[in-house]
Structure 1
Amino acid sequence: MATIVDVAVNNDSFKTLVEAVKVADLVDTLASGGPFTVFAPTDEAFAKLPPGTIQTLVQNPPQLARILTYHVVSGAYKQADLASLENLNSVEGSPLNFHYSDEFEVKNAKVINSDIEADNGIIHVIDHVLLMG
């Protein structure tokens, strides 16, 4: 099986995320250790950000790293595990809230594909970039 980084690199929907992880110097972290649960925004999710946001973040790697680590929690949580939780603290330190109705949501994003397994954790694909605050 592959690591979280390998899964992302080999998926055409995560080109922006992979580039952001490289710029933020998080590749080694997400390729080793763990386990982690990653809420991974697609390229389409990044495209929904206001114009210029991605460029601004790329020019500020510490802020980019903070936003990316907000998308990660320690531990491997499948959707069924998360269904019994209201929130978890992200690696960044802020809580991520979960909502279940007809769909599984984390903060302001809908999970569009869940339970993608990697050697060092689980990936849940989301349709929006998670913003802190």
Structure 2
Amino acid sequence: MKLVKIFALFLGAAVLVNTANAQEKMTSEKTVNVGGAPMYPSKNIIENAVNSKDHTTLVAAVKAAGLVETLQSKGPFTVFAPTNEAFDKLPKGTVDNLVKPENKAILTKILTYHVIAGNYDAKAIADLIKAGNGKAMLKTVSGGTLTFSMKGSKLMLTDEKGNMAAVTIKNVYQSNGVIHVIDTVLMPS
């Protein structure tokens, strides 16, 4: 009985040490605040995105499209994450209509249009823009193309319909890629 108690105490101490080590690691990580919450490089895209108050619409849309598991996978992915304000720029009722089950395919196409396979931080994209004489084109997971350019020091994206989005927060590193926050929802053709 005494051995069991000692073992239980040892186990409890081990759990406390592991919890303390995990908390220490998270607080020592270089984070970027997005939507009032720190984004931890050791967490995946979904684990971080759910904490951003600026991305509740995006998170709800990702859930409605059934993309949570995909964005929790190994990746790497580069995600251009529209804010709630970006979704608010869409015509009234658009988001409510898109999250309906019968529109899942359209929603999925729009959301995956905001994702590029691979790990592209702002420097990598800027290097592609320089190499492309001021523009770079990258294929999205949906099969569409995004065009990248610079407007002064701002990284800009142009969708297939000619809409432009600016990167407002760049290089939010994740365990399975990188997020760039954007101010406009991009639309595939």
What is the number of residues matched between the two proteins?
133
Show structure 1 runs of 5+ residues with no match. none
- Tell me what 2:124 maps to: 81
Q: Spell out, residue by residue over 1:39-88, the C-alpha distance to the aligned partner (whole angstroms, 9 max, x if none).
A: 00000100000011101111211110110000000001100000122011
**TM-score (norm. length: structure 2):** 0.69
Tell me which of the two structures has the higher relative contact order, counting C-alpha pairs closer than 8 angstroms and 6 or more residues apart: 1
Asked if 1:69 corresponds to 2:112, the answer is yes
Secondary structure, counterpart of 1:91 in structure 2: coil
Is 1:126 matched with 2:182? Answer: yes
1:69-128 Cα offsets, whole Å, 9 max, x none, are: 000000011000001220110000011100112111111100000000000000000000
Q: Does 1:35 align with 2:76?
A: yes
Structure 1 runs of 4+ off > 2 angstroms? Answer: none
| Higher fraction of helix | 2
TM, length-normalised to structure 1: 0.97
Unaligned runs of 5+ in 2: 1-41, 129-135, 159-163
Out of 137, 155, 173, the residue aligned to residue 117 of structure 1 is 173
- Give the aligned partner of residue 52 of structure 2: 11
CA RMSD, 1 decimal: 0.7
Q: Distance in 1 between matches of 2:92 and 2:52?
A: 24
State the identity as a percent: 47
